[in-house]
Amino acid sequence: MGNVERNPFDKSVEENTHPVAVVRMVPIFIMGKRYEVPRSLTIMQAMEYAGFKFIRGCGCRGGICGACATVYRKPGDYKIYVGLACQTVVEPEMYLTQIPFYPANRAGYRFEELKPAPEEIFKLYPELFRCVACNACTKVCPMNIETMDAVSALKQGDIKRAAELTFDCIQCGLCTSRCFGELPQHHIFQLARRIYGGKIQPEAEHLKRAVQVIKKENSFDEILKSLMEMNEEELHKVYLEREIEPTTATEDWMPSERQFLFE
Ligand code: FES
């Protein structure tokens, strides 16, 4: 039946009684080589299905860490597409490769010595003013960030707006890979968010309270000490048995053990 194959691991396929037992396969090209993979997989799962083992280019598997930036093309389409391998589902005949790391200038600084002023960013990243406003960075962003607007905001000295616009940045570096002006946008925005969060935004009251409680009552000392005394096997057990918030949890979900929660 065309590109429909049976899942060799599913015994129920033999009886052919359940529609779920049939796995539909699609061809994809990973770094130029053709593979047949189940069509419901993400790019990351498909690569593993094809036999690849991730030793880098894979972190959270949840669309947060930015380690799995992927570029691909579709047949008969001139456009280059981008996505996160852990989030993007395969499409028939897609040509793809991952770019888990993209070299970019990253300025060195001592954060405590920086002033809460845009001039600090201009000094560390003068290439900010090489932006030609082509908007390629915005088009390529897998998080739908208004990247070029954030660059413009910074050029105008508006650190707050740049920090807020780029709050969802996962540092994948795809913007940098496409930039005509050679800007390392993701590093520049990270600095902007650090300056805004650490030196401009008012301190959060609840956080201040929590830090005071920790310092005064040494609330975590005992549990940290017991963790540090565990061997690898014990740590593994504790890790596997920890309570995890269910993916379907509602807003008011609370862990059963609440002794370390702050009001
Ligand atoms: S593995 Fe973390 S974003 Fe994909």
User: pLDDT band at residue 182, thresholds of 50, 70 and 90?
Assistant: very high
Nearest CA to ligand 1 atom 3: 63
User: pLDDT tens digit string along 12-26?
Assistant: 444 445 555 688 999
Q: Identify the residues whose C-beta falls under 6 Å from ligand 1.
A: 58-61, 63-68, 84-86
pLDDT at 7 over 80: no
pTM across the whole model: 0.77
Question: In angstroms, what is the span from residue 177 Cα to ligand 1's centroid?
Answer: 18
Q: Are 14 and 7 in contact (CB under 8 A)?
A: no
Question: In angstroms, what is the span from residue 65 Cα to ligand 1's centroid?
Answer: 5
N-to-C CA span, the chain: 60
User: pLDDT tens digit string along 212-233?
Assistant: 888 887 778 888 999 999 999 9
pLDDT at 64 over 70: yes
Predicted pLDDT of residue 130: 97
Question: In angstroms, what is the span from residue 209 Cα to ligand 1's centroid?
Answer: 33
Predicted pLDDT of residue 2: 37
Predicted pLDDT of residue 18: 58
* Distance from C-alpha of 80 to C-alpha of 83, rounded to nearest angstrom: 10
Predicted pLDDT of residue 13: 43
Predicted pLDDT of residue 21: 65
How much is the average pLDDT of 134-151? Answer: 96
Q: Which atom of ligand 1 is nearest to the CA of 64?
A: 3
